[in-house]
Amino acid sequence: MKGVRVEAPATSANLGAGFDVFGMALSEPVDVLVVEEIEAGVVLEVSGYQVPESPERNLAGYVAGRLLEGTEAGVKIRLEKGVPPGSGLGSSAASAAGAAAGVAVLLGLEVSVEELLRVCAEAERLASGAAHADNAAACLYGGFVCVGTKGYEVLAVEPPEWLEYAVVLPEVRVETRAARRALPERVPLEVHVHDLARAVMFAAGMIRGERRLLRAGMSDWFATPVRSRWVPEFEALERAAVRAGALGMTISGSGPACIALCCRDEQPARVVAEAMAEVYQERGMRCMSFWGKPGEGVRVNGERLSNIL
């Protein structure tokens, strides 16, 4: 039986001011998908973290179904969920992007990464109620991305080679839909202008590899002040990260995971992750932590997707 093995990593969206448009691929945790050709239809088996199993309600199943339209083929997907759902780490996007990449490569579909992104972004509407493409773009392209909301144009950037991230995920679950509903429908003009400049500086910092710009760019007035209410000990966490040497810290996606960025030559991300985790441990709260270099995004049979399609 023909099959491919896909690793689809967690991703971190927003990164401060880049609400709904910035994303960065992490190197772990990952969803692992084994995609095999079958007679017809979509069969889904899920292990690891618990997520809906019916192909209609699971993003991997939905995306596979969309890509099979117009073909005679079917696929069986064994999804090992390694990216915790409801964490702010792009769990649904990992499943969607992983399935999209697996089905496209397995069946030799003539699609571009851009087309896969469009399908994944629409799948995300199922998960969050809004067709945002930030996590999916980061997962499909790897590195740092900015994705336009009209037409899903993508700016893909290889982060500076010294950049590392530290992620800490407390044991609280945040529903993406609820986190989105808490945000106002209209943005005060001064917030709009403030966040515009921050987002531009952050992206410029990624492109130029300038720490000053990443530092200045990693704060926002729109989403984080609202969403930090759901992150236990947010202020203490931010203080700990910055004191440990991080360039900045913010909420990952809609949280509750938080992400700090650091320059390896100043302070390895492991140390920053430990300092952040300590904030929870000292208060008797459980958390997970991850750190590493920004990732390459989805890999199919060990190869970066953008090298295949």
Query: By C-beta, is 107 or 218 nearer to a copy of itself?
Result: 218
Q: Which amino acid is at 267?
A: Q
Contact predicate 85/92, CB 8 Å: yes
Query: By C-beta, is 21 or 100 nearer to a copy of itself?
Result: 21
Q: Is residue 226 involved in binding a copy of itself (CB under 8 A)?
A: no
- Is residue 282 flagged as an active site residue? no
Q: Is residue 225 involved in binding a copy of itself (CB under 8 A)?
A: no
Q: How many residues bind a copy of itself (CB under 8 A)?
A: 39
With CB under 8 A as the contact rule, the residue among 3, 5, 20, 232 that binds a copy of itself is 20
Tokens 């810290």 — which residue? 249
Q: Binding string to a copy of itself for residues 134 to 163, with x set by CB under 8 A, is what?
A: ------------xxxxx--x-x-x------
Contact predicate 149/20, CB 8 Å: yes
- Select which of 7, 124, 164, 238 is catalytic: 124
Q: Minimum distance from CB of 187 to a copy of itself (Å)?
A: 4
In 28-144, alpha helices (H): 59-68, 91-107, 113-128, 134-141
Q: Binding string to a copy of itself for residues 174 to 213, with x set by CB under 8 A, is what?
A: ---------xxxxxxxx-xxxxxxxxxx-xx--xx----x
Q: Is residue 117 involved in binding a copy of itself (CB under 8 A)?
A: no
Contact predicate 268/183, CB 8 Å: no
- Using the CB atoms, write b or e for 56-80: b if 16+ within 10 Å: eebbbbbbbbbbbeeeebbbbbbbe
CA distance 95 to 230: 25
CA distance 224 to 48: 30
Segment contacting a copy of itself by CB under 8 A, of 11-19, 166-174, 263-271, 286-294: 11-19
CA distance 236 to 240: 6
Q: Minimum distance from CB of 153 to a copy of itself (Å)?
A: 5
Tokens 């493409």 — which residue? 133
- Length of the chain, please? 309
Q: Minimum distance from CB of 189 to a copy of itself (Å)?
A: 6
Q: Is residue 248 involved in binding a copy of itself (CB under 8 A)?
A: no
The residue ranges that bind a copy of itself (CB under 8 A) are 17-22, 146-150, 153, 155, 157, 183-190, 192-201, 203-204, 207-208, 213, 216, 222
Catalytic residue positions? 124, 176
